[in-house]
Structure 1
Amino acid sequence: MASTLPDNPSLDRLRVEARALQRGAVSGDRQVVDAIRRHHPGPDIALQRRFRLHDAQLVVARSYGFSGWPALVGYLNIAADLTVDPSGVDEHAIGSADRFCALASLRYDHTDAPPRWQAAADLLEANPDVPQQHVWAAATAADPAALHRQISARPDLANTAGGPFGWVPLLYLCYSRVPLPHNEDQVLAAAGVLLDAGADPNAGYLWRAMATPFTALTGVFGEGEQGPGRQPRHRFAPALAGLLLARGAHPVDHQTLYNRMFRADDSHLELLFRHGLGEAGPSPWERRLGEAMETRDQMWQRQIDWAAQHGFADRLDLLARHGVDVSGAELTIASIPDDPNIRDDDGATALHHAAWSGDLALMQQLLDAGADPDAVDLRHRTTPLDWAEHAYQSEAAELLRRHGGTRESP
């Protein structure tokens, strides 16, 4: 199974939900009865007798992907120590070193964008002593000298949580996107200082208590639902990920596979397969979170489905070569619709979506076929150029401007 709990779940709210479900069962509420029949292993017996609280708790737990109430409560107890909500940090109420870390880091929320990372660089330029203030700022800046001084004085800092998000230093290094004039050797040296001091290469956190951990590898590989313009991979992702894997990071990283599935690039999979993705045993996170995490079969099925639906034939071939069963996949062959201005349920056209993802080849095909560069979607009232600029897809935006595209949003 896999947890489907909402963001930042509360045991108190779940208890209230269970009691409400119990009352609904007693009163015969049809929707409640339907839920009981879907999730209770013995619904008829439970409904014939007085529907008890433990029955309601079982239904609630199973509706969120858990085998029972004790498993759900157990997960919440574990998650309490691992959950971070980066959006909850008030950057105006913290010191300069913490603010530098917060601005520099991918948060995986709607604020991720290059101006934040540039603001971190500007803060560092104005306050060059920031990496000396604490180890988490030194890691964010990938400053090997500052890290060495602080770790030498206190080796335990390599695995000490702190900074604005309560992360260990390695996570700040891996999620940092601050544009600094570092070369690859400097970044690897900074990571090496932490790893040599015993930093856990499998370090991670639970984003808003979601049961798929955001690990150090997740931060390095980057990307996600907001696209590579707003959630880019680390500038030295191949080398840094390779170092983490060589030092013991587990190659089965569920969140990385999800974040990187949206585009056709398979470099992350190729690297992970070289380090045992296809045959690796349980990861530390799978052992720790148990049934709350999706199974390997679920993980692979999501990859197969997305690749098939989006015409990623090379990805299906790669998965098959490494022993993943893709035999049931039906590959969708991408084609330009007869009407290039056909809209989805939100009124967006194919050109909107291609602009968001920065697919220049598809955009050109759509424009050549007569796609309207000034089409306005119904949900946001914005044009493809608005979408491209919001996603920081500069080349896509320039292509649209050359074809007369304009902005609708202010």
Structure 2
Amino acid sequence: MALSLPANPDLEHLRREARRLQRAVRSGEPRAIVLVSRLHPEGAPGDPTTFALSDAQLVVARSLGFASWPRLRTYLAAAAGLSRDPAALDPVLEASAGVDAAESASVTVALACLTYTERDEPERWSRAAQLLADDPDLVHRDVFVAAAAGDAEALRSHLAADRGAPTREGGPFRWPPLLHLVYSRVPQVDAVGSARVLLDAGADPDSGYLWQGLPTAFTALTGVFGEGEQGPGRQPRHPQWQPLAELLLERGADPNDRQTLYNRMFNRDDSHLELLLAHGLGRPSSEVWTRRTGEPAETIEEMITRQVDWARSHGFVDRLELLAAHGLVPDGAADLTPDDVLGDDVPVTGPWPGDPTVPDIHRAATPEAVRAAVAAGARVDSLRDGRTALHQAAFMDDVELVTALLEVGADPTVVDAMHGTTPYRWALWARGERAAAVLRGATGRHTSRALDDER
């Protein structure tokens, strides 16, 4: 079972959770009894009033994916030194107009780097680039700024003066220089050359940290491949992602990078998978982060299963075929076709009556699949998780998919159930400039047609 911890997990909080569970079981609360019967190896107690705290702690540990309470405590102790909370550590106030000279290095690297919070956006990187332009000597005063700027010559000077610099943690997020380089999104002088300088000097290709103490490490590879829940506009891949990833993998970085696979899972592009598979993804490797924390965030089998399940449920046929070609898909899935995907009985939510097993437009991951789904009866404006397929395509800045959906009749003025906004607004928030441009014109044309119809 994959680990599933709350953000910034705290042992005392979990102890209190165990005490609450013990009290709930002893008082006979049905939900607590069901939880214990499912997770305790001996099932629910015959006499709930005898349910011990140690039993409750075992159930809490198992609910989080740990085999025992001691294993959970050991993980938390190991993870404490590896945990970083970028939101809490960020020295930049959104309303700040100027930067104190004494804090310019810290602010510059904080603005330059992806934090995997809602603060990630191009405006921050532009501010960082301006600070670097205003103070060119900053790269020579601070090794972490030099790394974020990808300035190989400045890095060589820092390393010559301090042999421990390649592995020393610092800057606002307490990262080593390599992480500042690969998570930076400002224009860099020589990203690949700088990475080579750091690696040659002893930087760890498996450098990383636990984001808010969660068990899946954000590694150097994670920073290189980028993307994630905020979309490719706010959390883009590194401009030099391919040569940087190849360099890290050649130097021994573990290709079984769970966070990379999760972050890139939402986008139908498979270039990250192609590279990782070529370097051993899906096969046992160093598992360095399992050794560091004492527990696997998820096993290799669980990691691959999540990829397969997502591909199947979202119609990513090409991804399934790619995984199948490397022997990572169960028997039978290798023959999956777009028609098979679109014929699945996933319910369509929305205000339309009729057969709930019509093709689901949300599983149409290519323009061809969109057209086939609609031809087979899919409701193009159906909702899943409160959004239309057009909202999701806009969020991912997937212009091809946006265009295909509009061509088959998707309504660009439909609002989502969560924020009450249109696909165009989703594209704007996600900094999906290309999708926003297409949707701006489509929304205007749709509104004009509606007004003509009213007349």
| Alpha-carbon distance in 1 for matches of 2:269, 2:378 | 28
Q: What is the alpha-carbon distance in structure 1 between the residues aligned to residue 258 and residue 6 of structure 2?
A: 18
Q: What is the CA deviation profile of residues 162-190 of structure 1, one whole-angstrom value per residue up to 9, with x for unaligned ones?
A: 1000011100101000134x3xxx21211
Q: Matched residues in 2 for 1:5 and 1:68: separation?
A: 14
Mapped partners of 1:198, 1:192: distance in 2: 10
Q: Which residue of 2 aligns with 1:59?
A: 59
SS at structure 1 position matched to 2:443: coil
Contact 1:352 1:383 in 2 (8 A): yes
Do structure 1's residue 332 and structure 2's residue 341 form an aligned pair?
A: yes
Equivalent residue number for residue 410 of structure 2? 371
Q: Structure 1 38/128 Cα, relative in aligned 2: closer, same or farther at 3 Å?
A: same
User: Is the Cα contact below 8 Å between 1:86 and 1:107 reproduced in 2?
Assistant: yes
1:65 Cα deviation from its structure 2 partner: 0.8
Pick closer, same or farther for the CA change 1:251–1:211 going to 2, 3 Å: same
CA distance in 1, matches of 2:128, 2:435: 26
**CA 77–120 in structure 1, closer or farther in 2 if over 3 Å, else same:** same
User: TM (normalized to structure 2)?
Assistant: 0.84
Residue 24 of structure 2 corresponds to residue 32 of structure 1: no
Instruction: Classify 1:168/1:47 alpha carbon distance in 2 versus 1 (closer, same or farther; 3 Å).
Output: farther
Gaps of 5+ in 1: none
Task: Mark the CA change 1:363 to 1:117 in structure 2 (over 3 Å): closer, same or farther.
Answer: same
Equivalent residue for 1:128?
136
Distance 1:389 1:289, change over 3 A: same
Deviations along 1:62-93, one digit per CA (max 9) or x if unpaired, are 11111110000011001100001101123248
User: 2:22 is matched with which residue?
Assistant: 22
Q: Which residue of 143, 150, 154 maps to 1:146?
A: 154
Q: What is aligned with 2:381?
A: 341
**Residue in structure 2 matched with residue 90 of structure 1 by the alignment:** 91
Matches within 5 A, 1:200-349: 200-327=204-331, 329=333, 332-333=341-342, 334=364, 335-336=373-374, 338-346=378-386, 348-349=387-388
Partner in structure 1 of residue 439 of structure 2: 400
Choose from 156, 161, 171 the match for 1:163.
Answer: 171
Compute the displacement of 1:328 (Å). 5.3
1:328/1:259 CA distance change after superposition, 3 Å? farther
Residue pair 2:415, 2:421 contacting (<8 A) in 1 also: yes
Deviation by residue 1:222-268 (Cα, 9 ceiling, x = unmatched): 11122211111100011011111111111111111111121222111
Q: 1:177-231 CA deviation, whole Å, 9 max, x = no partner?
A: 0134x3xxx2121111111110100111000111110100110011112221111
Deviating more after overlay: 367-376 vs 152-161: 367-376
Which one-letter code corresponds to 2:379 in the other structure? D
Q: Which amino acid aligns with 1:98?
A: S
Q: Distance in 1 between matches of 2:28 and 2:75?
A: 31
C-alpha RMSD over aligned residues = 1.9
Contact kept, 8 Å, 1:385 with 1:405, in 2: the verdict is: no
Letter in 2 for 1:383: T
| Aligned-partner Cα distance in 2 for 1:369–1:388 | 20
- SS of 1:206's partner is strand
2:381 and 2:275 map into 1 onto residues whose CA distance is 39
| C-alpha deviation, 1:360, in angstroms | 2.1
Which residue pairs with 1:382 in the alignment? 421
Unaligned runs of 5+ in 2: 94-99, 343-363, 365-372, 446-455
Give 1:48 shift. Answer: 5.2
Q: Percent same amino acid at aligned positions?
A: 51
Check whether the contact 1:373–1:405 (CA below 8 A) recurs between aligned residues. no
Superposed CA deviations along residues 257-315 of structure 1, whole A, max 9, x for unmatched, are 11112122211111112222243434211233343410111100111111122222222
The structure 2 residue matched to 1:350, chosen from 381, 389, 393, is 389
CA contact (8 A) 1:273 1:322 kept: yes
- Once residues 344 and 278 of structure 1 are traced to their aligned partners in structure 2, the CA distance between those partners, rounded to angstroms, is 31
SS in 1 for 2:6: coil
Give the whole-Å Cα distance in 2 for the aligned partners of 1:2 and 1:159.
Answer: 30
My pick for the range that moved more, 286-295 or 128-137, is 286-295
Q: Distance in 2 between matches of 1:102 and 1:96?
A: 10
Distance 1:338 1:322, change over 3 A: closer
Partner of 1:74: 74
Task: Out of 314-323 and 381-390, give the one that drifted further.
Answer: 314-323
CA distance in 2, matches of 1:64, 1:3: 6
**Greater displacement, 245-254 / 272-281:** 272-281
Cα pair distance change 1:339/1:273, threshold 3 Å: closer
Amino acid at match of 2:424: L
Asked whether the 8 Å contact 2:282–2:304 carries over to 1, the reply is no
On the 8 A contact 2:225/2:238 being kept in 1, the answer is: yes
